[in-house]
């Protein structure tokens, strides 16, 4: 099954290559429907253009000092799948925005009644940066994760401390011709932030290839949002989903993300204006790009991307 779906991915990337680079990148053959989808994307771009230009620059920001903790109350929770929740926190007023730039995250802090010191963990919101009155997160509960366990067990009106923004990668429109996003699990959240920023800006022509690894189809986060973006931007965005436990009727990739798959769907290292972003658990980093030495030290490039010939400067590890 993996070989047949791999061939489908290869054919898909060929169909998109004329719109992106001379080397295959993304997208399945869209045939006659491509024109209609492109027309829809054009209308969508132009109707949202005024909103994008206006933005929310004048809205008060919740996080204004990266050294100051701000307490926010939980508005609501939604069970997304068997181990992931969507949490919505209220900002100080209905006019406030969270105050994050692209691409950045924030810190959360919690100290249990028997804890000697607080637990601090970074999270990337999945709500729009210009969303007023609230901020949302996707949180996967890990068996031995003190912060994720606390977050998933929080009840309405409980409060949590936040601090930021923590700038990860200073992105500017059109700074890269194509972006390749390789993610696993909740490592998808910073990728979603970047994808959304590009697709929201009608002046940004950057093409994006997303490759995400999950255990099962149920574990794919934000799939509905990505499918909508693919429909609206068929010449600019393409997503590939890889399932470790893929069912027999799964139309996408089965197994794990491999060097061959990345070679097929990403532009080659000769494209010096290409940038790859990687995010996931430690073992995923080790396989795809090599691990980071610390939050501020990217470490040496390793894994599949190094084996494919990419330079360290072409890869960023969230």
Over residues 220-274, the pLDDT tens digits come to: 999 999 999 999 999 999 999 999 999 999 998 899 999 999 999 999 999 999 9
Closest Cα partner for 140 from 86, 90, 192, 214?
86
pLDDT at residue 167 is higher than 50 = yes
pTM of structure: 0.83
What is the share, in percent, of the chain residues with pLDDT greater than 90?
77
Determine if residue 165 is labeled as part of a ligand binding site: no
Determine if residue 261 is labeled as part of a ligand binding site: no
Q: What is the pLDDT, as a whole number, of residue 112?
A: 87
The mean pLDDT of 283-287, rounded to a whole number, is: 97
Contacts of residue 290, Cβ cutoff 8 Å, sequence gap at least 6: 299, 300, 301, 302, 303, 306, 317
Question: With contact defined as beta carbons under 8 Å apart, do 167 and 102 qualify?
Answer: no
Q: What is the C-alpha to C-alpha distance for residues 198 and 207, in angstroms, rounded to an integer?
A: 9
Confidence of residue 127 (pLDDT cuts 50, 70, 90): very high
Q: What is the C-alpha to C-alpha distance for residues 87 and 156, in angstroms, rounded to an integer?
A: 10
Average model confidence (pLDDT) across the chain = 87
**47: helix, coil or strand?**
helix
Determine if residue 122 is labeled as part of a ligand binding site: yes
Determine if residue 140 is labeled as part of a ligand binding site: yes
Helix residue ranges, H only, the chain: 2-17, 33-54, 146-153, 188-200, 223-232, 259-265, 282-288, 303-307
Contacts of residue 116, Cβ cutoff 8 Å, sequence gap at least 6: none
Q: What is the pLDDT, as a whole number, of residue 304?
A: 99
Determine if residue 175 is labeled as part of a ligand binding site: no
Determine if residue 57 is labeled as part of a ligand binding site: no
Question: With contact defined as beta carbons under 8 Å apart, do 202 and 52 qualify?
Answer: yes
pLDDT at residue 25 is higher than 70 = no
Q: For the chain, list the domains and their CATH numbers.
A: 2-52+171-317 (3.40.50.80), 70-165 (2.40.30.10)
Determine if residue 154 is labeled as part of a ligand binding site: no
Is residue 165 reached through a cis peptide bond, with omega within 30 degrees of 0 on the bond before it?
yes
Determine if residue 138 is labeled as part of a ligand binding site: yes
Q: What is the C-alpha to C-alpha distance for residues 2 and 250, in angstroms, rounded to an integer?
A: 10
DSSP-assigned letters across all residues of 98-166:
----TTEEEEEEE--TT-SS-EEEEE---S-TT-SSEEEEEEEPPTT-HHHHHHHH--TT-EEEEEEEE
Over residues 234-244, the pLDDT tens digits come to: 999 999 999 99
Over residues 287-306, the pLDDT tens digits come to: 999 999 998 999 999 999 99
Over residues 34-49, the pLDDT tens digits come to: 334 444 444 444 444 4
């Amino acid at each position: 099954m993996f070989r047949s779906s791999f061939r489908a991915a290869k054919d898909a990337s060929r169909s998109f290559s004329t719109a992106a680079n001379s080397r295959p990148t993304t997208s399945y053959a869209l045939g006659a429907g491509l024109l209609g989808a492109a027309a829809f994307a054009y209308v969508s771009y132009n109707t949202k253009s005024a909103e994008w230009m206006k933005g929310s620059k004048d809205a008060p920001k919740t996080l204004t000092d990266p050294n100051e903790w701000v307490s926010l109350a939980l508005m609501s929770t939604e069970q997304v799948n068997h181990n992931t929740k969507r949490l919505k926190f209220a900002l100080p007023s209905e006019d406030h925005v969270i105050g994050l730039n692209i691409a950045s995250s924030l810190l959360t802090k919690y100290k249990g009644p028997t804890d000697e010191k607080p637990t601090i963990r970074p999270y990337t919101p999945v709500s729009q940066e210009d969303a007023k009155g609230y901020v949302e997160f996707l949180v996967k509960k890990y068996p031995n994760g003190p912060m994720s366990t606390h977050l998933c067990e929080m009840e309405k009106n409980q409060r949590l401390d936040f601090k930021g923004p923590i700038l990860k990668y200073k992105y500017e429109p059109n700074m890269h011709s194509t972006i390749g996003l390789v993610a696993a699990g909740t490592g998808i959240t910073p990728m979603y932030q970047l994808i959304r920023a590009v697709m929201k800006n009608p002046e940004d022509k950057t093409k994006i290839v997303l490759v995400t690894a999950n255990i099962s189809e149920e574990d794919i986060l934000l799939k509905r949002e990505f499918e909508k973006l693919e429909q609206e931007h068929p010449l600019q965005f393409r997503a590939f989903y890889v399932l470790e436990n893929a069912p027999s009727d799964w139309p996408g990739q089965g197994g794990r993300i491999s060097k061959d798959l990345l070679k097929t769907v990403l532009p080659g290292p000769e494209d010096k204006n290409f940038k790859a972003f990687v995010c996931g658990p430690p073992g995923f980093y080790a396989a795809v790009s090599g691990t980071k030495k610390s939050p501020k030290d990217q470490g040496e490039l390793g894994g599949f991307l190094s084996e494919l010939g990419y330079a360290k400067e072409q890869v960023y590890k969230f």
